[in-house]
Amino acid sequence: MYAKFLANTHPSIKWSQNKDHILLTIAVQDIEKPEISIEPTKLHFKGEQTKGLKYDTILEFFDDIDPKTSKHRKTSQNHWEFMLKKKNPNEPFWKRLIKSTEKCLWITVDWNHFTAEGDDDDADDTGSAGGKDWGNIDAMLKQMGGNVSGAASTDLKDVDHKEIDSDDEPMLDLEDVQKKE
């Protein structure tokens, strides 16, 4: 019975949006050629792993999309990415991804690509927001005193290592603390 329940399952899905698009990332391992159907009101994703686990998910969208201008691609061995064009970009942001108000634990917000409803107004035609060129991250990090690896440009040789912080004092063993009590 338990194996039967796992035979057909939902993949992990992350989603985010801006005023024009919905970005979906479906996390599944080792599915080379899934069946994908994108319609104005739903997306169907079906596939089988090489290990035999089957995924079959139909997402009925909160609002309509334009399937002709929507795209999808495999971004890694474990991820499929969908850029779904909203049919009505002038409508307010979607309240949720799907029509159903039931909580689906396998669908979560992709906070790495999250855009708040008013944030799109700051973007100009070059894809920058707030006057910053987000495409040139190297220059931005150099202005902030760092580099692409995130390392600071401060020379740590100037730091005086002779000061002892209270956190640097040796800790007593647990056995020693119990003996004192």
Q: What is the DSSP-derived secondary structure letter of residue 157?
A: G
Question: Which of these, 21, 47, 14, lies nearest to 120 by C-alpha position?
Answer: 21
The rounded distance, in Å, linking the Cα atoms of 108 and 120 is: 21
DSSP-H helix ranges across the chain: 2-7, 137-143, 174-180
Q: Is residue 6 part of a domain?
A: no
Question: Which of these, 59, 75, 55, lies nearest to 107 by C-alpha position?
Answer: 59
Q: Is residue 177 part of a domain?
A: no
Q: Is residue 39 part of a domain?
A: yes
Question: For 112-140, how does the pLDDT look when each residue is reduced to its tens digit (9 = 90+)?
Answer: 887 877 775 544 444 433 333 434 445 54
Q: Is residue 128 part of a domain?
A: no
Supply the CATH number for residue 30's domain: 2.60.40.790
Q: Is residue 154 part of a domain?
A: no
pLDDT attached to residue 135:
44
Q: Is residue 125 part of a domain?
A: no
Q: Are strands 54-60 and 8-9 parallel, antiparallel or unpaired?
A: parallel
Q: Is residue 46 part of a domain?
A: yes
pLDDT attached to residue 117:
77
Domain count for the chain, please give it. Answer: 1
Structural domain harbouring 30: 12-90+103-109
pLDDT attached to residue 6:
41
The rounded distance, in Å, linking the Cα atoms of 24 and 64 is: 15
Q: How confident is the model at residue 179 (pLDDT cuts 50, 70, 90)?
A: low
Question: For 10-48, how does the pLDDT look when each residue is reduced to its tens digit (9 = 90+)?
Answer: 899 999 999 999 999 999 988 878 999 999 999 999 998
pLDDT attached to residue 77:
84
Question: For 146-166, how does the pLDDT look when each residue is reduced to its tens digit (9 = 90+)?
Answer: 444 444 444 444 445 555 555
Task: Give, in degrees to the nearest 5, the angle at Cα 94 between 118 and 137.
Answer: 50
Q: Is residue 139 part of a domain?
A: no
